[in-house]
Amino acid sequence: MKQAKSVFLSTTELKALKKIGDIIIPENNPFPSFSQTACIQHIDDVLSFLCDKDLADLKALLRFNAFLPTSIVSLALRLMNSSLLSIFRLVSLGLKGLIMTLYYSNKTGIDYKGKQPYDIIDYHVHVIPKNT
Amino acid sequence: MSFYKNACFNIEINFTRYGLVIDDYDIAIVGSGTSGGCLAYYLNKAGFHCLLVEAGRSFSANTFPGNEMDYTTQLFWNGGMDVSMDGRLIFLRGKCLGGGSVINQCDLDRFDDIALLDWKEASGVTFFTNEGMIRHYEEVEKHLVIQEIPKNHWNRNARIFAEGFERLGFRWSPLARGQSDCAIEEGNDCIVCLGGCPRDSKQSVLVTFLKQAKRNGLEIWPEFETENIQNIKEGVKIAGRRNGHYIEVFARNCVLAAGALGTTHLLLKSGYGEKLPSLGERFFCHPQMMNFGVFDEKVNSHKGVLQAVKSDDIRIRKKGFKLENVFAPPISLAMLVPGFGKKHQAWMQKYTHMACIEVAIRDVGKGKLTIDRRGKLKINKVLSKEDQRRARQGQKLVREIFEAMHAKEILQSNFMFGLHLMGGCAMGIDPSSSIVDGNFKVHGCQNLFIADSSIFPSAPGINPALTIMALAHRASKAITNAGRFHTDRQ
């Protein structure tokens, strides 16, 4: 599978994001995991709107997570998700937002051949423009 | 310094070492959304030389991004991730030419006596009555196509809403929708239009007021992000960046129409907080909670008409909330479903079986907008005890509706959206507790006006878009009639 590249995130940071992504969206038939769809290849489309401060915070968080075992990251995400502390809720919301945005955009990696999220949830919509 | 004069517009453009300095507008309008687009039309029509600046890009029916991820990141401020300080509310606001009118659901309701009289009492401004507002509603409605969705075009989500209401003995009514030609019978799905309408059916300012204003020669600058405004002797200086270049614009008058968050943020960044003690106070957002009922048969809430009906019962109105049938595209729904992992995926798999009713509360808890040391906007908005009580009552009623309709499961999201962003620069006659007077002029500041939802004195509990336009029309009259402005033009 083609390696994701980003102008905003380093290889280590991308690895950490994949790890978090697979905790939030694991492989669970019929759903492919976050990393299997390679939607992370579109990460720069999502990060381009972030201000410098938020991007720096995200990078630091990902670097920290890169060196933690998956089980610890998973536990931390669950604790943060139900936390009463706003800072943890904000981190949890930010990470969930990033992962869900990439995955449920239905955009996948170039080489991905599996089921697409839109097909799994049966989301197919359209509007015919007036002049066609 | 070099200099040249644009012969068409009689604009003086100076190139300084700091960037461009552009001169000689009668009125600069900051923000091109529901208010700014409407205001620009009326002021331009009145013969003033206007400049409309907008931070976002310009899109059209042919160029709206389509994919939910793309439109969220390209058409919304901060990628749709403006979050309250406590992380419990997300605020959505448009960042594109046409602003919120491009990405809203274009529900166009007039305010009732309850809302207007509450505003009159809170502000001391006497035109907040039905009689005072009716001519403005009538005027803006002339420019809009407003339709109700006939029953034969409803999807099952709307039918569940209406039938559930009737079983419990509550009144509902059709929503007044700003749309001209959705061609639902051809199989179109209105959920697409949350990222801009590819048919130009949605009555955004792009297809109504701005379209006419452009024909009349209105000058529009998309991708101009205003960083600072200052009152100067001859008018107002508006400083910002366009494609990375610093530009200063001088106009004899400036109208802020960047929405509750945008306008308040700009004034705070520009240092107006010192002379306007209540700047940023009284921020409201109609916090919205989505509730899902899962049914055995497919509901397909995402297909066809996204919204058709609303609560229309005085008992519900008096309880301080409203209900509407609505739904969400996949990314938004994934955010609304609590948690993550396999349980989350199990809910997502029920996407086509979900009906959805939204509770929007008429919030009374006053939020506060401030900035941090770097000038970043901080949104302090928590639900007051009364707001929480209203939310619980609304969610209880939705549960009863779904139960009456035999929903198999019910999911009530703990996650809230703020889509109607209001206040922060409240209108009022007392300068110690308000920002603009009854003529939309900022207290103590010559030539500076505000005409967007930031001037709302409280939360009305009704979709605000039509009233924002009606107020923009009134503001255009007030600005035109301002004595000093006439003197300048003569």
Q: For the whole model, what pTM was predicted?
A: 0.94
With a cut of 70, list the residues of chain B below it in pLDDT. 1-19, 483-490
If you measure CA to CA, which chain A residue comes closest to B78?
A: A49
User: To the nearest whole angstrom, how far is the Cα of A39 from the nearest Cα of chain B?
Assistant: 12
Task: State the pLDDT confidence band at A118, using cuts at 50, 70 and 90.
Answer: very high
The 10s digit of each residue's pLDDT in A32-54 is 999 999 999 999 999 998 888 89
Give pLDDT, residue B447.
93
Give pLDDT, residue A66.
94
- CB of A90 less than 8 A from some CB of B: yes
- CB of A101 less than 8 A from some CB of B: yes
User: To the nearest whole angstrom, how far is the Cα of B362 from the nearest Cα of chain A?
Assistant: 24
The number of beta carbons lying within 10 Å of the beta carbon of residue B480 is 16
Question: What ranges do the domains of chain A cover?
Answer: 11-120
Residues of chain A with Cβ-Cβ distance to B190 below 8 Å are: 127
Per the document, the length of chain A is: 132
The 10s digit of each residue's pLDDT in A75-113 is 999 998 888 888 898 999 999 999 999 999 999 999 999
A77 contacts B340? CB cut-off 8 A: yes
Give pLDDT, residue B211.
97
Give pLDDT, residue B233.
82
Parallel, antiparallel, or unpaired: how do β-strands B235-242 and B224-232 relate? antiparallel
ipTM computed for the complex: 0.96
Give which of A39, A125, A131, A132 to mutate to test B binding, by max B Cβ within 10 Å: A125
Give pLDDT, residue B485.
52
- Do residues B103 and B63 make contact, with C-beta atoms less than 8 angstroms apart? no
Give pLDDT, residue B415.
86
User: Shortest CB distance from B67 goes to which of A51, A77, A105?
Assistant: A105
Q: How far is CA B277 from CA B267, B282, B367, B445, in A?
A: 12, 12, 15, 14
User: Shortest CB distance from A120 goes to which of B329, B349, B376?
Assistant: B349
Give pLDDT, residue B14.
53
A89 contacts B86? CB cut-off 8 A: yes
Give pLDDT, residue B6.
39
SS3 string, chain B, reads: CEEEEECCCCEEEEEECCEEEEEEEEEEEECCCHHHHHHHHHHHHCCCCEEEECCCECCCCCCCCCCHHHHHHHHEHHHHCEECCCCCEEECCECECCCHHHHCCCECCCCCHHHHHHHHHHHCCCCCCHHHHHHHHHHHHCCCCEECCCHHHCCHHHHHHHHHHHHHCCCEEECCEEECCCCHHHCCCHHHHHHCCCCCCECCCCCCHHHHHHHCCCEEECCEEEEEEEEECCEEEEEEEECCEEEEEEEEEEEECCHHHHHHHHHHHCCCCCCCCCCCEEEECCCEEEEEEECCCCCCCCCCCCCCEEECCHHHHHHCEEEEECCCCHHHHHHHCCCCCHHHHHHHCCHHHEEEEEEEECCCCCEEEEECCCCCEEEECCCCHHHHHHHHHHHHHHHHHHHHCCCCEEEEEEEEEECCCEECCCECCCCCCCCECCCCEECCCCCEEECCHHHCCCCCCCCCHHHHHHHHHHHHHHHHHCHHHHHHHC
If you measure CA to CA, which chain A residue comes closest to B75?
A: A49
A49 contacts B73? CB cut-off 8 A: yes
* A14 vs A85 pLDDT, higher one: A14
Give pLDDT, residue A51.
85
Give pLDDT, residue B81.
84
